[in-house]
Structure 1
């Protein structure tokens, strides 16, 4: 369960992580009773990324402008989500912006501290610019200072960042979290640090041990029929909405967002949406796109997805291998045969085969298109298209078809 930003900021303030003066806005008229000084930043509170690009973050300098902006943001759908709450926050002039996180690395079963002197870094370069320290024993300030030093920080700034990391780890343990993230951590001209945005992911198995978190989870379930529909930073395969009928696989956040929005606007119900472009920074071993594609296909089938919509745009590493993975998936799912083999050699459980719609766009995918075109002559269950609108329409049409035609 992911918290909204205003909830994250409340937790940060309680534990001692510096946050800006802010106020929850439930209705545009609340801005007439604003307790913080202009200029302010209005932020849409939704479980979705790319808020700023979508227009969900606005800086305003007067009450009139704030009310008008709030009305627009309340009516702005981002990934099919309308905010019920906005966050009004003081403007902050950051001279530098860092990235910090404490994350549970399931590969080594230990917490890991992550840090970079660049916020919102290009994921292609994340492994080069991100520093990390594995918390191998009982936590001590040593781990936080070690990460700050690896980030190249010195003096007062090193101490300030280390202190924030200690508080983040304290929150991580107290609340049984899977992730505590500050992105960005702003640094002003005086060298003071400020958590400008944050993300918290609660371990769902631990919710029952925390009554206040259980109450938050209940409200979330009652108000929304969605969870975070897209992968978190670095493309982890962990954002599952088991209610949607159309599972989405893509090779970039932008392509997944576009696909998701088109499915919603076409009357479909998107479900699990996975970004296969990147593995996690702390993976014990490198992963190939082929492996992530197979894992994504299996994840969707195991959750009984009715239609799998694959949207590959532009460059994909080893496109022939990606096409072979799709071909293998189709062949092994003919007639509800056992699914792809697990990494340990065992077979997965019995599931119904989903429909498969594949959209390939870009000359670099010609090799993959040739392989799947040849396969399509023998497998009439595969729908192969180049136009995204047509692919989405086909996927939505399949979910509404009275006859369940399998991939065969």
Structure 2
């Protein structure tokens, strides 16, 4: 679950991480009142779950009440890369002597948290990593050992932090790591991490992604979820208990088991197609879950064809067939389907589909054949 900037800063503050004072506001009146209380100059910052706010005009420095009113009026309701601004964060202006970059992310390949630090803050970190990789210091942390004080000093020294700031920056990294662990985060990024003229270290930004599977242990964090800020298809899937990730293609994918779905994405790509989603119906899916899955997949207007790839174990293929037949009665899909059923009750499942004689539904016996068919259908709408 991604947090808005101000939510991330509030979380930081709970863990003793220095952040500028500020207040959220959902109306122009509330924004101006917050600016009056905080004082001028102040910064009016759009709150959306996307980067590039400054370049889009979503971050403005207000020198007085008139400018705060104007900027709040301009920014609230603004569209930034497809995200509508419903809130702004009014923050006291900060004096900046230097800008750094700091982040902690869970590195799945290394099976350990990765801490990164750079003196080139305020820039896209991808650009820094590509053009000047030596400017980005990295350190994997043994989860059992944890982040030690010497880790912070080692990173600061490797990143070229000035001598008088090595210990303060190291201490900041220690607090960020403690927050990462305590809140069960997947990502904590501060860009920029600023140094004030008084040589204080302050988190001027907060990008935080929490592990959605752990939210039941953190009710305060779970309450921060904003469904209106989420992708409509992903929100619908979440409400129905489905594992769904929206992608950029036009072929809807449903499988049972994350590994099978990922393999299906690869095979579809191998045949020249592009998946519109990742949807894992899970083990033991009943017909009602299949109906819900079809509704979620087809709620994406880009979908031109759908592939069911089911390898029955706990999941029964006849239940999947019943779900698709029921979905056709409820939704009446207009896009073609390719269905591959193999495993538990696959013969019964294929017989159910044959007897139902659903319009525009093709079957396949192998994953390779199914992928080839669905790619052709997505392009032409006519079975191969």
TM-score (ref. length: structure 1): 0.59
Q: Which secondary structure state, in structure 2, belongs to the residue aligned with residue 3 of structure 1? A: coil
1:191 deviates by 2.0
Partner of residue 134, structure 1:
140
Q: Which secondary structure state, in structure 2, belongs to the residue aligned with residue 153 of structure 1? A: coil
Matched, 1:21 2:24: no
1:111 deviates by 0.8
Matched, 1:123 2:131: no
Partner of residue 9, structure 2:
9
Q: Which string of whole-angstrom CA distances, capped at 9 and with x for unpartnered residues, describes residues 299-325 of structure 1?
A: 64544586479xxxxxxxxxxxxxxxx
Partner of residue 193, structure 1:
201
Structure 1 contact 23–35 (Cα < 8 Å) conserved: no
Query: For 2:110, which of 108, 111, 115 is the aligned residue?
Result: 108
Q: Which secondary structure state, in structure 2, belongs to the residue aligned with residue 54 of structure 1? A: coil
Partner of residue 33, structure 2:
32
Distance 2:49 2:17 in 1: 22
Q: Structure 1 pair 203/407, CA: closer, same or farther in 2 (3 Å)?
A: farther
Q: Which string of whole-angstrom CA distances, capped at 9 and with x for unpartnered residues, describes residues 364-389 of structure 1?
A: xxxxxxxxxxxxxxx79549xxxxxx
Q: Structure 1 pair 406/95, CA: closer, same or farther in 2 (3 Å)?
A: farther
1:224 deviates by 3.8
Q: Which secondary structure state, in structure 2, belongs to the residue aligned with residue 216 of structure 1? A: coil
Q: Structure 1 pair 201/225, CA: closer, same or farther in 2 (3 Å)?
A: closer
1:39 deviates by 0.7
Q: Which string of whole-angstrom CA distances, capped at 9 and with x for unpartnered residues, describes residues 233-266 of structure 1?
A: xxxxxxx99586xx427xxxxxxxxxxxxxxxxx
Structure 1 contact 183–198 (Cα < 8 Å) conserved: yes
Distance 1:163 1:228 in 2: 41
Q: Which secondary structure state, in structure 2, belongs to the residue aligned with residue 97 of structure 1? A: strand
Q: Which string of whole-angstrom CA distances, capped at 9 and with x for unpartnered residues, describes residues 30-80 of structure 1?
A: 213532111111001111111111111111111121112101111201122
Q: Which secondary structure state, in structure 2, belongs to the residue aligned with residue 108 of structure 1? A: coil
Matched, 1:147 2:155: yes
Partner of residue 156, structure 1:
164
Q: Which secondary structure state, in structure 2, belongs to the residue aligned with residue 70 of structure 1? A: helix
Alignment of 1:338-377 (within 5 A): none
Structure 2 contact 244–277 (Cα < 8 Å) conserved: no
Matched, 1:205 2:249: no
Structure 1 contact 47–227 (Cα < 8 Å) conserved: no
Q: Which string of whole-angstrom CA distances, capped at 9 and with x for unpartnered residues, describes residues 91-137 of structure 1?
A: 12322211101111111111111111102246244051321001024
Query: For 1:92, which of 79, 87, 94 is the aligned residue?
Result: 94
Q: Which secondary structure state, in structure 1, belongs to the residue aligned with residue 83 of structure 2? A: coil
Matched, 1:226 2:231: yes
Q: Structure 1 pair 198/225, CA: closer, same or farther in 2 (3 Å)?
A: closer
Distance 1:90 1:354 in 2: 58
Q: Which secondary structure state, in structure 1, belongs to the residue aligned with residue 167 of structure 2? A: helix
TM-score (ref. length: structure 2): 0.63
Q: Which is greater in Rg? A: 2
1:349 deviates by 9.7
Distance 1:350 1:188 in 2: 62
Q: Structure 1 pair 407/36, CA: closer, same or farther in 2 (3 Å)?
A: farther
Distance 1:243 1:302 in 2: 5
Q: Structure 1 pair 57/192, CA: closer, same or farther in 2 (3 Å)?
A: same
Distance 1:100 1:49 in 2: 16
Q: Structure 1 pair 298/161, CA: closer, same or farther in 2 (3 Å)?
A: farther
Q: Structure 1 pair 184/225, CA: closer, same or farther in 2 (3 Å)?
A: closer
Structure 2 runs not aligned, ≥5 long: 235-241, 254-265, 280-296, 305-336, 342-365
Matched length: 280
Query: For 2:69, which of 67, 70, 84 is the aligned residue?
Result: 67
Partner of residue 175, structure 1:
183
Partner of residue 51, structure 1:
53
1:226 deviates by 2.1
Q: Cα RMSD over matched residues?
A: 3.8
Partner of residue 248, structure 1:
248
Structure 1 contact 101–115 (Cα < 8 Å) conserved: yes
Distance 1:195 1:227 in 2: 32
